[in-house]
Structure 1
Amino acid sequence: MYAETAVSPSLSAIAPARHWARDRLSEAGVDDGRLELLVLLVSELVTNAVAHADPPVTLRVHVDDERTRVEVTDGVREVPVVRNPPPTAFGGRGVMFVDRLSSSWGTVEEDGDAAKAVWFELRHDDVSELGGFSTER
């Protein structure tokens, strides 16, 4: 399954993007254990794109037999970095969550209006039968 949608470059677009992704992932047969983790990580990528980048912002979801891949494109070439904010910080943990909870992640340059895509993948075998994420890579 492959699907994509345009995301408004506004913080108010985060919840609708999250709901759109949940619906597409559910339609693709993603189970509850993976679904919750994927929706969390989608939310982090979309939040970064609408808070720190320029339009156009596009959310892409691709599910196959081996893994789920999510990409968010935006109009800025600057790539996100993993930060380790102090416990008192209000933000700055999104990329850290993506780094620690996904099977892999990265960025690629895009052609056309978008400058880059930030992506993550979750291999289906990285999630146990109980729905928990395996920390082994």
Structure 2
Amino acid sequence: MRAETPVAAELSAVAPARRWARERLTEAGVEQDRLDMLVLLVSELVTNAVAHADPPVVLRVDVDHERTRVEVTDGAREVPVLKHPPPTALGGRGVMFVDRLASAWGTTPEEGAAVKAVWFELRHDDVPADLARFAR
């Protein structure tokens, strides 16, 4: 299953994008134990795009038998940076969540109006290291 939707370049668009992703992932048969984590990571990518990037912003989901891939394209050249903020910081943890919970993530150049895609994948047979200790 592949689907995409445009996202308004404003923070108020994050919740509708999250709902859209949950609906598509549910339709694709993503298991409930993975669904909430995927929606959290979608929220982080979309939030970064609308807060720090330039339009157009597009959210894509692609689910196959091996993995779920999520991409958010935007018009900014700056790529996200993995940070390790102190516990007192109010933000800066989005990419860290993606890095720790996804099977893989990165950025790729795009052509046309969008300049880059920020993406993550979650393999269906993968248990992220940070969650493995809770799986017992």
| 1:1-137 → structure 2 map (5 Å cutoff) | 1-127=1-127, 133-134=131-132
CA RMSD after TM alignment: 1.4
Q: Does the aligned pair in 2 maintain the 1:106–1:118 contact within 8 Å?
A: yes
TM-aligned CA deviation for residue 133 of structure 1: 4.0
Encode CA deviations 1:46-68: one digit per residue, 9 max, x unaligned: 00000000000000000000000
For residues 10 and 134 of structure 1, what CA distance do their matches in structure 2 show? Answer: 35
User: 1-side partners of 2:77 and 2:62: how far apart?
Assistant: 23
For residues 48-102 of structure 1, what are the alpha-carbon distances to aligned partners after superposition, in whole Å with 9 as ceiling and x for unaligned? 0000000000000000000000000000011101000011111000000000000
Q: Identity, % of aligned pairs?
A: 74
Q: TM-score, normalised by structure 2?
A: 0.94
Q: Distance in 2 between matches of 1:4 and 1:133?
A: 28
Work out the CA distance in 2 between the residues paired with 1:112 and 1:78.
16
8 Å Cα contact 1:126-1:134 kept in structure 2: no
State how far apart, in whole Å, the 2-side matches of 1:133 and 1:9 are.
32
1:10-38 deviations in whole A, cap 9, x for unaligned?
00000000000000000000011110000
On the 8 A contact 1:126/1:133 being kept in 2, the answer is no
Task: Name the TM-score, length of structure 1 as normaliser.
Answer: 0.93
Q: 1: distance between equivalents of 2:70 and 2:131? A: 17
Q: Could you tell me how far apart the structure 2 residues matched to 1:65 and 1:18 are?
A: 22
Which runs of no fewer than 5 residues in structure 1 stay unpaired?
none
How far apart are 1:122 and its partner, in Å? 0.1
Name structure 2 gaps, 5 residues minimum: none
Matched AA of 2:96: M
Q: Partners of 2:126 and 2:19 in 1: how far apart?
A: 23
Q: Aligned residue pairs: how many?
A: 132
Contact in 2 for aligned 1:102/1:121 (Cα 8 Å): yes
Deviation at 1:127, TM superposition (A): 3.9
